[in-house]
Amino acid sequence: MTQWWSSAYNDLVSQLPQSIVDCLKLRIQNTKIRGKKCELNKESDNLKGLFENELASYNNKKQCMKMNNKGYEERLQDLLEEKEKEYKAEMKRKDLNNWGSEVKSRHLQG
């Protein structure tokens, strides 16, 4: 795809996924002002603001996903720890039951 923005914006554009860049291009091309479709103007200062806003939005979404993943990992870790405690308690109960059975058995034999 040909570059439709000024090379001054390359650092911003390079941080965005290609799908977002393509979507921005279509959004600009489909915008009408006073009934006329907008032209892609490489030198437009509005492009910089558009790219900056889109990058900020994209980074916020990535941060939210990281936080959600971190929260999920923490909840998963808590569940694993809880299951481990339950397992240890169950094993302790079984050991006590086995010990009690052995004591009963010896008592009855003795």
Q: Which residue has the higher pLDDT, 22 or 1?
A: 22
How buried is residue 95: exposed, middle or buried, by Cβ count under 10 Å (0-12/13-18/19+)? exposed
| pLDDT > 80? residue 104 | no
**Range with lowest mean pLDDT among 8-12, 44-48, 53-57, 79-83:** 44-48
Q: What is the mean pLDDT of residues 41-67?
A: 83
Q: What is the mean pLDDT of residues 23-31?
A: 82
Instruction: Report the chain's mean pLDDT, rounded to a whole number.
Output: 82
| Amino acid identity for residue 56 in this structure | A
What's the confidence (pLDDT) of residue 81?
Answer: 92
